[in-house]
């Protein structure tokens, strides 16, 4: 996460946010293709 803080007001602004999820082993490849 990348944030910017305004030192005068204390306001925080999110510049960049990345989320990653590991769903484990693929059981049905057709379902995975349908979700992309």
Q: What is the pLDDT of residues 1-36, one digit of tens each?
A: 999 999 999 999 999 999 988 878 888 888 888 776
- Can you tell me the distance from the alpha carbon of 4 to that of 15, in angstroms, rounded to the nearest whole number? 7
- Can you tell me the distance from the alpha carbon of 13 to that of 11, in angstroms, rounded to the nearest whole number? 7
Position 6 scores a pLDDT of 97
In this structure, the chain runs to a length of: 36
- Predicted TM-score (pTM) of the model is 0.47
Partner residues linked to 14 by β-bridges: 3
Position 17 scores a pLDDT of 96
Position 36 scores a pLDDT of 62
Position 21 scores a pLDDT of 82
Domain residue ranges in the chain: 2-35
């Amino acid at each position: 996460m990348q944030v910017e803080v305004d030192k005068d007001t204390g306001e925080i602004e999110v510049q960049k946010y990345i989320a990653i999820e590991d769903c484990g082993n693929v059981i049905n490849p057709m379902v995975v293709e349908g979700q992309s």
